[in-house]
């Protein structure tokens, strides 16, 4: 489980102490021992407090869950301090930018969106309100090599607020976006249009419309949702070869957050590598293709492989050895299982400990290794 806690401390050092106290309470007493809305200011008190538990109908509940997200792209305003909030309901959740810098107004806005989700369901609300999602680009399938970024959807009425990329194509690589969801489609077309060396020349809901739109016209990259109505990916690739033989078909998937991405990663590949990239560097693995015309699928594969090789080389073996030496015997056991692809429940069963204990060990391992994901931890551990 994962929850956001609103820390009351004003300095980073005191906030770190407060967070550590909360974490120790969770490990020793469980989630019920600490309520996110009742943590004392700067004290990190354990257990219950005199404050009554807050419910989602109260503004105070949402006020304490407001966050400032730095990776909201496309950004809604020029003010970096606007509030966002994560809303969870019925097993799903998203971060919603609230478009407000005032805490009280933002909390009221968060509660309003939550009530709408309860009344109308996720699909209706996500069409009207911008929300964050994780987009994963599938560069190769075996070994599985993906990059992923955090995007924010763009609703129809926001198109006048958020400026798209430059309409001119010039010598830039021409990209078609195929995405059935209109809000995700707008976000992707704006994001691609702002990339140096790339231009979004069409954004369509289906593959049929996209291929008809660009018949007889040059296109370099077709960015297509892996789950599309109409022809399957193989059939789409065959049709694309006939219409635009030099075009690269680049499939992608969308997830509510990066945790869902990791859980949904398909099995069976000989190796895995998932790397987070900033949305303004979406095509970073093939960025130098802008100066290479024409290019083939083999050129793309070579550049993607070289890109990830350079990422691996950047991880210093000497640093990895020094950092893995900090791990305890139990943490080494957990990392041995994790690097073999075991999920948390399998690790817990193998070591005869609770899954919550595994989560606690993993958090300390991430801190010692200076990483944020299971993949990064496994790479550093295996590089020892």
What single string gives the DSSP state of each residue in 224-291?
EESS-SSS-HHHHHHHHHHH-TT-EEEEEEEESSHHHHHHH--S--S-EEEEE--GGGTTGGGGGGGG
Burial code (b: 16+ CB inside 10 Å, e: under 16) for 348-368 equals: beeeebeeebbbbbbebbeeb
d(CA 38, CA 296): 58
The least confident of 43-57, 93-107, 241-255, 362-376 is 43-57
What is the reported pLDDT for 383?
Answer: 61
Going by C-beta distance under 8 Å and a sequence separation of 6 or more, which residues neighbour residue 364?
A: 331
- With beta carbons less than 8 A apart as the criterion, state whether 35 and 53 touch: yes
Residue 304 has what DSSP assignment? H
- Could you read off the pLDDT of 168-193 as tens digits, one per residue? 656 789 999 999 999 999 999 999 99
According to the model, what pLDDT value does residue 85 have?
Answer: 92
Cis, bond preceding 74 (omega within 30 deg of 0): yes
Asked if residue 46 has pLDDT above 50, the reply is no
Q: Residue 257 pLDDT > 90, yes or no?
A: no
Q: Quick one: average pLDDT of 98-117?
A: 93
Residue 100 pLDDT greater than 90, yes or no: no
Q: What is the pLDDT of residues 112-122, one digit of tens each?
A: 999 999 999 99
**Has residue 123 got a pLDDT over 90?**
yes
Which is more confident, 329 or 21? 329
Mean predicted lDDT score pLDDT of the chain: 81
Q: How many residues does the chain have?
A: 384
Give the residue-averaged pLDDT of 11-36. 77
Q: Tell me the domains of the chain and their CATH numbers.
A: 1-53 (no CATH), 54-129 (no CATH), 132-312 (3.40.50.2300), 317-382 (1.10.10.10)
Give the integer Cα–Cα distance in Å for 284 and 308.
11
Which DSSP symbol is given to 215?
A: T
* Pairwise CA distance, residues 376 & 365, whole Å: 11
Q: What is the pLDDT of residue 324?
A: 65
Q: Which two tokens stand for residue 180?
A: 């059935």
Given pLDDT bands bounded at 50, 70 and 90, which one contains residue 96?
Answer: very high
Burial class, 85, CB count within 10 angstroms (exposed 0-12 / middle 13-18 / buried 19+):
buried
Single pTM value for the model: 0.68
- End-to-end CA distance of the chain, in Å? 30
Mean pLDDT across the stretch 10-23?
79
């Amino acid at each position: 489980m994962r929850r956001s806690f609103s820390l009351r401390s004003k300095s980073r050092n005191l906030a770190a102490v407060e967070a550590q106290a909360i974490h120790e309470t969770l490990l020793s007493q469980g989630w019920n021992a600490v309520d996110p809305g009742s943590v004392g200011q700067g004290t990190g008190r354990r257990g219950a407090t005199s404050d009554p538990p807050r419910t989602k109908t109260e503004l105070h509940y949402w006020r304490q869950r407001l966050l400032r997200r730095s990776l909201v792209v496309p950004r809604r305003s020029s003010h970096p301090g606007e509030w966002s909030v994560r809303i969870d309901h019925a097993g799903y959740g998203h971060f919603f930018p609230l478009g407000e810098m005032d805490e009280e107004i933002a909390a009221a806005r968060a509660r309003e969106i939550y009530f709408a989700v309860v009344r109308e369901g996720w699909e209706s609300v996500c069409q009207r309100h911008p929300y964050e999602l994780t987009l994963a680009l599938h560069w190769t399938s075996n070994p599985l090599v993906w990059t992923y970024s955090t995007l924010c959807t763009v609703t129809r009425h926001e198109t006048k607020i958020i400026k798209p990329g430059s309409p001119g194509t010039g010598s830039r690589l021409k990209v078609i976006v195929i995405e059935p969801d209109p809000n995700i489609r707008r976000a992707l077309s704006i994001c691609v249009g702002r990339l140096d060396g790339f231009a979004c020349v069409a954004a369509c809901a289906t593959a049929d419309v996209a291929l008809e739109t660009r018949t007889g016209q040059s296109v370099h990259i077709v960015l297509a949702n892996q789950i599309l109505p109409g022809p399957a990916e193989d059939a789409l690739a065959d049709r694309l070869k006939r219409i635009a033989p030099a075009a690269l078909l680049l499939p992608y998937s969308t997830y509510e957050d990066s945790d869902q991405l990791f859980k949904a990663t398909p099995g069976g590949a000989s190796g895995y590598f998932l790397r987070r990239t900033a949305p303004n560097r979406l095509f970073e693995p093939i960025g130098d293709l802008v100066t290479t015309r024409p290019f083939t699928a083999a050129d793309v594969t070579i550049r993607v492989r070289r890109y990830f090789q350079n990422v691996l080389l950047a991880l210093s073996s000497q640093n990895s050895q020094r950092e893995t030496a900090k791990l305890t015997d139990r943490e080494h056991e957990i990392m041995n299982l994790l690097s073999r692809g075991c999920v948390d429940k399998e690790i817990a069963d193998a070591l005869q400990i609770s899954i919550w204990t595994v989560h606690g060990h993993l958090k300390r391992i991430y801190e010692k290794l200076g990483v944020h994901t299971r993949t990064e931890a496994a790479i550093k551990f295996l590089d020892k």
